[in-house]
Chain A
């Protein structure tokens, strides 16, 4: 497809389990971002990948969160030992090189930890 694709669209998991969220960016987009939006709150920055540079992980809330990206393609966000406060919509966005362009978002993954 032409847009940013995220999977799964919904995920319900038990507290303490690990989850993996996937993002397929738009082809050719070197920048990839992960954000999350908890209920009633704004967009919270998690991590940012730019080409082959070291990712900016400054937004990851704890060491239970990690993300990987292979080259300029798919990214996975992994949450270990999930907790109820991890429940949120996790949004991925990608952006073409150059800086003065917009980022395109996927539909998000709604994660519910029960």
Chain B
């Protein structure tokens, strides 16, 4: 039962360009959404979040967009840097604190 889906297993972009990572969810009870970044041999680390009352949240080079009607969110990284190369996980949470993750997208930023 995949409640959170990341349909692109990998993405490759050139340094300085924009990276766009996508995520879809099915459960309409989700009202808080998070992006995590994971390097090899480390646990995921929190990157940015958005609540369902907003449609955009920006933090430096990272912006998350939420389209509730489409049950879709995206993470934009601009400009992309080689150090951004990692696996990015989308997560969704409901009021009861249940939290589910997508399968992840491996981002490679080429110098």
Docked-complex contact A99 and B95, CB < 8 angstroms: yes
Residue of A nearest to B93 (CB): A99
B25 within 8 A of A: no
- Indicate whether A95 sits within 8 Å of B89 (C-beta atoms), given known contacts A42-B102, A107-B42: no
1/0 per residue A25-68: CB within 8 Å of B? 00000110101000001110100101000001000000000000
- The total of chain B residues at the interface (CB under 8 A) is 27
B55 CB, nearest partner CB in chain A, Å: 16
Contacts of A30 in B (CB 8 A): 97
Docked-complex contact A41 and B103, CB < 8 angstroms: yes
Docked-complex contact A105 and B32, CB < 8 angstroms: no
Q: Please report the C-alpha to C-alpha distance between residue A95 and residue B34 in the assembled complex, in whole angstroms.
A: 13
B9-67 CB contacts (< 8 Å) to partner A: 31-32, 34, 36, 41-46, 49, 51
Docked-complex contact A102 and B34, CB < 8 angstroms: yes
Q: Please report the C-alpha to C-alpha distance between residue A91 and residue B91 in the assembled complex, in whole angstroms.
A: 15
Contacts of A33 in B (CB 8 A): 99
Contacts of A93 in B (CB 8 A): 43-44, 99
Docked-complex contact B96 and A50, CB < 8 angstroms: yes
B101 CB, nearest partner CB in chain A, Å: 4
1/0 per residue A73-100: CB within 8 Å of B? 0000000000000000001010101011
Residues of chain B whose beta carbon lies under 8 Å from any beta carbon of chain A: 6, 31-32, 34, 36, 41-46, 49, 51, 89, 91, 93-104
A-B contact pairs, 28 of them (CB 8 A): A42-B6, A42-B103, A42-B104, A43-B44, A43-B89, A43-B102, A43-B103, A43-B104, A45-B100, A48-B99, A50-B96, A50-B97, A50-B98, A56-B98, A91-B44, A95-B97, A99-B31, A99-B94, A99-B95, A99-B96, A100-B32, A100-B51, A102-B34, A103-B91, A106-B43, A107-B41, A107-B43, A108-B43
